[in-house]
């Protein structure tokens, strides 16, 4: 059990450092929200001994804000707050699993990152390794939620295995951002 705690601590530390490296890039706010989500969940869980499901539900929804770049700020804000309200309704007043809601949000984020990769490839005929790692990160999150939602016994083990994988991706993001990412010529 001690090993699991160290994995969780390593994940929090790595993902808290990533926004520093991503400062000045278009995904800085995305990485900052991810970092604050982990830190706030840690504080709620270990300091205040409260459940963190609501924080993750709200944080996952807020992750959409920096990605809705094609909308004006007021519309981005409106879309996110409508989804946050929907998240509260789902969590408190329905039998729908909050994990299912998070999976849908992360699927939308995955589709956004896939769109970024395809557009970049269309313009440059290269694929940035950074975009591939973003897709791998989002895909691992969706799988993590899916397995946890369906198979609780396997879910916890898979949760920590994917967390270790995501720590590796986080280490990549500590050194590489969209501006200095190596590319793959296809």
Mean pLDDT of successive 10-residue segments in the chain (186 residues)?
82 93 93 91 79 83 91 90 90 85 94 96 93 96 83 70 92 93 86
| pLDDT of 155 | 59
- Structure confidence at residue 34 (pLDDT): 93
Calculate helix-pair angle for 53-62, 73-93, nearest 10 degrees: 160
Output the pTM of the full model. Answer: 0.90
Which residue from 39, 38, 42, 18 is spatially nearest to 29, judged by alpha carbons?
18
Q: Is 162 exposed, middle or buried (0-12, 13-18, 19+ CB in 10 A)?
A: buried
Q: Could you give the number of structural domains in the chain? A: 1
> Which pLDDT does position 30 carry in this prediction?
95
Which structural domain, as residue segments, surrounds residue 172? 2-185
């Amino acid at each position: 059990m001690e090993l699991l705690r160290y994995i969780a601590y390593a994940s929090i530390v790595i993902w808290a450092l990533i926004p520093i490296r991503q400062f000045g890039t278009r995904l800085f706010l995305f990485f900052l929200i991810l970092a604050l989500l982990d830190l706030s969940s840690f504080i709620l869980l270990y300091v205040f001994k409260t459940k963190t499901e609501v924080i993750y539900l709200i944080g996952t929804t807020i992750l959409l804000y920096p990605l809705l770049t094609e909308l004006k700020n007021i519309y981005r804000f409106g879309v996110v707050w409508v989804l946050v309200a929907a998240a509260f309704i789902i969590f408190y007043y329905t039998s729908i699993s909050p994990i299912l809601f998070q999976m849908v949000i992360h699927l939308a984020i995955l589709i956004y990152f896939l769109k970024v990769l395809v557009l970049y490839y269309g313009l440059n005929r290269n694929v940035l390794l950074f975009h591939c790692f973003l897709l791998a990160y989002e895909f691992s999150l969706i799988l993590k939620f899916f397995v946890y939602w369906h198979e609780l016994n396997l879910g916890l083990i898979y949760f920590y295995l994917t967390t270790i994988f995501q720590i590796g991706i986080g280490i990549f993001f500590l050194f590489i951002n969209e501006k200095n990412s190596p590319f793959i010529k296809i």
